Amino acid sequence: QGSNITFYGKLDVAIENVRFSAASGKAASTASYLSNDISYWGLRGNEDLGDGTRAYFKLESGFSADTGTSSGGNQLFDREALVGYGATWGALQLGSQYAPSLFVQARSDPFGRNNNGNGITLTQQIPGNLRGFVGQLPLNNAVQYISPSLDGVVVRVLHSFSERAAAPKDLGEFSGGSIDYFKGGPLYVGLSYEVQKLAGATPTTVLSNKTAALGASYVFSQAKLFGYLMHNTLTNAAAVNAQLVGVSVPLGLSDVKASYSQRKLNGDDAGKANIIAIGYFYHLSKRTEVYTSWAHLHNGAGTNFGIWPSDKTYAPPVVAGGAGLPVLGQSINSLELGLRHFF
Amino acid sequence: QGSNITFYGKLDVAIENVRFSAASGKAASTASYLSNDISYWGLRGNEDLGDGTRAYFKLESGFSADTGTSSGGNQLFDREALVGYGATWGALQLGSQYAPSLFVQARSDPFGRNNNGNGITLTQQIPGNLRGFVGQLPLNNAVQYISPSLDGVVVRVLHSFSERAAAPKDLGEFSGGSIDYFKGGPLYVGLSYEVQKLAGATPTTVLSNKTAALGASYVFSQAKLFGYLMHNTLTNAAAVNAQLVGVSVPLGLSDVKASYSQRKLNGDDAGKANIIAIGYFYHLSKRTEVYTSWAHLHNGAGTNFGIWPSDKTYAPPVVAGGAGLPVLGQSINSLELGLRHFF
Amino acid sequence: QGSNITFYGKLDVAIENVRFSAASGKAASTASYLSNDISYWGLRGNEDLGDGTRAYFKLESGFSADTGTSSGGNQLFDREALVGYGATWGALQLGSQYAPSLFVQARSDPFGRNNNGNGITLTQQIPGNLRGFVGQLPLNNAVQYISPSLDGVVVRVLHSFSERAAAPKDLGEFSGGSIDYFKGGPLYVGLSYEVQKLAGATPTTVLSNKTAALGASYVFSQAKLFGYLMHNTLTNAAAVNAQLVGVSVPLGLSDVKASYSQRKLNGDDAGKANIIAIGYFYHLSKRTEVYTSWAHLHNGAGTNFGIWPSDKTYAPPVVAGGAGLPVLGQSINSLELGLRHFF
């Protein structure tokens, strides 16, 4: 006991300047933030059980490095809490786990899941926006199978129990899977699909929230290209489609990254939003980098997406200090200057 | 500083199938859970101060491995937080500590404090049931003396302050003790007694909740037998009595365990409940095991005990997802298939 | 990754006997507590980036060792969460950080920030008392510059963003700095100044809460002397002044400490409070000590300061168990017997 535990984590903090455009009934305004990008600490362990089998666990806890606040509140390990058993036939994991779709998205975006330019703002479910893949929080009460790599192909299947004894028994259930291809060469391709059962207007109504996604990246000699397509449907609602294209260019100890992502509610011209972003990352070491990143988020007349990582704007309705911004149709410019440190 | 710290923990998760019997006004129903058995992480340390004296500490935090939620909420170290000083005369501990009675019960039950068959469901205080020994949570603001082993006998005495300046000054106070006998041979015997001062109907009324328990185990050549008796009295209320018998049989890398426990509110035929259970545990290593365990909990017409570790049923009234089960007189079958990993 | 992390912490628990004097409408009363002095656990790391530069972080979490409760609730790392970059020109820190004034006070008090005799009861902002330096909690969303030591002089400047896009934009802002002199000799001198923008009576009113402090200590052959002066002003309110004098005398493995501190609201004879204290500390090792400490807090007719570390009295209005004590004009005697352990 007590052996083979690894502690790890990340602190990522940026001074961020945000400008909100003028919108109907709102003058333009600006604010400065100390913004927390994704920060976490965790512990994980692995036990060799012989004959290619192993037991392992992961407990990861997100926090806001600008305030020290645990991002999951009482859900201390809000970035996966799982125990797993692995063998030659693959691995079985029990606990609170990310949807397979998360990994497809993260590998298909030059910004990963960080910085104001990342695509998850428009493609991931966030509070007030239930149209996207389930990535903000892990799925609780979940069982996941992960295959071994067969000629570069890895399959993930995850099911999260509703834990309901009364009808509708499927309310709250989640099922999802992904197929990844990566053989060590320049090409990565990933496909994900998931179905989530949400509460409808009446106690017995259950809505199906379905998201399919296709992501890819390719390493050319001078640059790495990224692309991502998402299609989301919801019972009795118009479909949502989103796309991302991006590029990452290594320059010595630096990386320059750029991306364009957009999202559209079918049949609603007001339901469009897009983000254009460019970032510069300088690696002080393998574990530490400084960066600057600029992004412009355009909200359509019917959307009020906030921009990550400004915690005061990302999840509207926002707290008093954020003055209720953004409102519908209000666009945002964000400029970050940050320090990222892995441990 | 920073030396001699040990991190340790346990993840214990099971896929659990639960069947609720038909009861007055309720049809039979079933539910599937990913259930968290007792999971925790902790850190502890020890400093040798010379001449047989030492300082030590323990900080242990429970969590639900199926969701990553901290089981104590803001009480992060809800499984003891204490600092101690030890010498040849014994040890003195200050902090939040388990009642001495907990250790007597844990050693007198083949399932320890785990799995659907364990006896604590009927003998330990749980929410909505204040008749049993205090084991679910440690006692806050507590001072404990633990004797050295004198010819196999260890005495524990714990007192938890009410911290009240106004009358009734003893409201919330707890005092308890235990005598354990274990000399390394086949026999273990333990005796515990505790008095807890609870709030009565009026602001100045204080009720005395008293629990006496006797537990034992004995290792025979083929099996280990367990027994436990609990007697609880409460001011102006009928007494509660509970009993457990159990057996554990080692079979190579496996253990087979079985137990029968029952509980009765004196003079109330409706106030009876019992659990019968059998479990099979296969040890993949010293730190990791897989298991399956079946239990049947019978609720009398006047009881609605839930079954551990189904978090949706263990502490009624339950959340919406559990649909308010069990109701009075509703019995429960539980089948678990689980993975337990110590680190 | 995973390298160079240090875990550290402290548990400090005391059995405390408190006597409240008789006051208008209240009889004298007593209570016994298991009191938590400052206890915490944390992790920190440092990465050498070459050429005298480095990246580092600190995550520190306070808790009550008498109950296991996290002192910051969801703000898990409530005792600083920061990432820093250091070079020959000094260090820049981003995150949740203590005000520079805290370190001046801590170095100018023989009790540091511990025990019933410490000066922070009268000089630091505590709940219900916003007149003192900001030391109870770190400043969120803060950027701090710390200079290198230039001939013994270290300068700190900290700014905490309001993060407001709407007027009044400075509401919640904090700016502060300190100058410390310590060259390894007997003399320490520190000066701090800070301005905090608090909410006034109307939504657009912002009050300025300004605190200046001067602290010093000097090591004589037989004793170390301490002194501290604080001056606080608040928009449209009378000034608050506080003073402390103290002494620490080493006696073999022991230390004897004493202090007198007082506080006064200008022009209000009822607004006076003072503390006189004496303590004895015996070092069992470098990491562990036992101590006893006695203090008398005198409340004026218009003050009801509680005494640290009695959590039931320190932050009035107090919880039920503390019976609402102290009331205005009620003085307090506190006697502690404690165990302090660093890890």
φ/ψ (deg, to 5) at B101 = -60, -25
In whole angstroms, how large is the CA radius of gyration of chain A?
20
Cβ count within 10 A of residue A35: 31
For residues B179 and B160, give the distance between their C-alpha atoms in angstroms, rounded to a whole number: 18
Q: Where are the domains of chain B?
A: 5-342
Asked whether residue C104 carries a pLDDT value surpassing 80, the answer given is: yes
Q: A76 touching C, CB under 8 A?
A: yes
Residue count (chain B): 343
**3-state SS, residue C199:** strand
- Check if B282 contacts A (Cβ < 8 Å): no
Q: How many CB pairs under 8 A join A and B?
A: 135
Joined together, the tokens standing for residue A221 give: 């000699």
Any chains having at least 3 CB pairs less than 8 A from chain A are B, C
**B163 within 8 A of C31, measured Cβ to Cβ:** yes
Q: What angle do CA C191, C194, C200 make, to 5 degrees?
A: 155
CATH class of B5-342: mainly beta
Q: CB-based contact (8 Å) between B55 and chain C?
A: yes
DSSP C129: B
* Residues of C in Cβ contact (< 8 Å) with A4: none
- Four-point Cα dihedral C64, C66, C68, C72, nearest 10: -20
Q: How far is B54 from chain C (nearest CA, A)?
A: 9
User: What's the CA gap between C272 and A68, in Å, rounded?
Assistant: 36
- How far apart are alpha carbons B159 and B99 in whole angstroms? 9
Using the Cβ of B16 and the Cβ atoms of chain A, whether some distance falls under 8 Å is answered with no
Mean pLDDT of chain C: 93
- Residue A128: pLDDT band (50, 70, 90) is low
Residue C222 DSSP one-character state: S
Share of chain A above pLDDT 90, in %: 85
CA distance A105 to A214: 8
- A138 inside 8 A of chain B by CB: yes
Strand ranges inside A137-271, DSSP E: 139-146, 153-160, 174-182, 187-199, 206-219, 224-234, 240-251, 254-265
Mean pLDDT over A112-119 rounds to 93
Q: Give the per-residue pLDDT at B128.
A: 66
Q: Among C71-85, C218-232, C251-265, C302-316, name the one with the lowest average pLDDT.
A: C302-316
| Contact across the interface for A13 and C95, Cβ inside 8 Å | yes
Q: Does the distance separating the beta carbons of B15 and A166 come in below 8 Å? A: no
**Mean pLDDT of successive 10-residue stretches along chain B, which has 343 residues:** 78 96 88 95 96 97 97 96 98 98 98 93 84 94 98 98 89 97 97 96 92 98 97 96 98 97 95 97 97 97 90 57 73 97 97
Residues in chain A closer than 8 A to B321 (CB atoms): 162-164, 172
Contact C66 B172 (CB under 8 A): no
Query: Which residues of chain A does B343 touch, with a Cβ-Cβ cutoff of 8 Å?
Result: 1-5, 45, 47, 57
Instruction: State which residue of chain C sits closest to B56, comparing Cα positions.
Output: C341
**What's the start-to-end Cα distance of chain A, in Å?**
23
Is the pLDDT score of C317 beyond 80? no
Q: DSSP label at A313?
A: H
Give me the total of CB pairs closer than 8 Å, taking one residue from chain B and one from chain C.
135
Beta bridge partners of A200: none
Place of tokens 């844990």: B106
| Residue C95 to chain A, least CA–CA distance (Å) | 4
Q: Under 8 Å CB-to-CB from C7, ≥6 apart: which residues?
A: B2, B5, B43, C41, C42, C43, C343
Of C65, C287, C325, the CB nearest to B165: C325
Q: Is A46 on the interface with B (CB under 8 A)?
A: no
Per the listing, tokens 């070491």 go with: A285
**Residues in contact with C108: Cβ distance below 8 Å, sequence separation at least 6, in sequence order:** C119, C188, C190, C215, C216, C217, C226, C227, C228, C244
Letter for the amino acid at B221?
A: S
Task: Determine contact, residues B275/B259, Cβ cutoff 8 Å.
Answer: yes
The domain defined by C13-342 folds into: Porin (2.40.160)
Q: Which two tokens stand for residue A166?
A: 């009364």
**Cβ of residue C69 closer than 8 Å to a chain B Cβ:** yes
Q: Which amino acid type is present at position A1?
A: Q
Query: Do residues A309 and A36 make contact, with C-beta atoms less than 8 angstroms apart?
Result: yes
User: Which residues of chain B neighbour C332 with C-beta distances below 8 Å?
Assistant: none
**pLDDT tens column, A8-32:** 999 999 999 999 999 888 889 899 9
User: Does B76 contact chain A (CB < 8 Å)?
Assistant: yes
Residue B151 burial (CB < 10 Å; 0-12/13-18/19+)? exposed
Q: Please report the residues numbered 179 through 198 in chain B whose beta carbons come closer than 8 angstroms to any beta carbon of chain A.
A: none
Of A95, A96, A172, the CB nearest to B321: A172
Which residue of A34, A283, A325, A337 to mutate against C (max C Cβ within 10 Å)?
Answer: A34
Report the gap between the CA of C1 and the closest CA in chain A (Å). Answer: 5
Distance from the Cα of B160 to chain C's closest Cα (Å) equals 8
Per-residue H/E/C for C292-305:
EEEEEEEECCCCCC
Q: Which of B292, B315, B304 is nearest to B16 (CA)?
A: B292
Reported ipTM: the value is 0.95
CA dihedral A124, A126, A130, A136 (to 10 degrees): 60
3-state SS string for chain B: CCCCEEEEEEEEEEEEEEEECCECCECCEEEEEEEECCEEEEEEEEEEEECCEEEEEEEEEEEECCCCEECCCCCCCCCCEEEEEEECCEEEEEEEECCHHHHHHHHCCCCCCCCCCCCHHHHECECCECCCECCCCCEEEEEEEECCCECCEEEEEEEECCCCCCCCCCCCCEEEEEEEEECCCCEEEEEEEEEEEEECCCCCCEEEEEEEEEEEEEECCCCEEEEEEEEEEECCCCCEEEEEEEEEEEECCEEEEEEEEEEEECCCCCCEEEEEEEEEEEECCCCEEEEEEEEEEEECCCCCCCCCCCHHHHCCCCCHHHCCCCCCCCCEEEEEEEEEEEC
Q: Which amino acid is at B206?
A: V
Q: Give how far C303 is from chain A: nearest CA, Å.
A: 32
Rounded Cα distance, C121 and C113, in Å = 9
Residue B161 near chain C (CB below 8 Å) = yes
Residue C321 contacts B, CB cutoff 8 Å? yes
What DSSP character marks residue A66?
Answer: T
With a pLDDT cut of 70, the percent of chain A lying above it is 95
Calculate how close chain B gets to C31, using CA atoms only, in Å: 5
φ/ψ region of A310 (left if φ > 0, alpha if ψ in -120 to 50, else beta) reads beta
Beta-carbon separation of A53 and B341 below 8 A = no
Please give the CATH number for the structural domain made up of A15-342: 2.40.160.10
Facing residues of A96 across strands?
A: A81
Whether residue A1 has pLDDT greater than 60: no
DSSP result, A268-294: -TTSEEEEEEEEEEEESSSSEEEEEEE
pLDDT at B159: 98
End-to-end Cα separation, chain B, in angstroms:
23
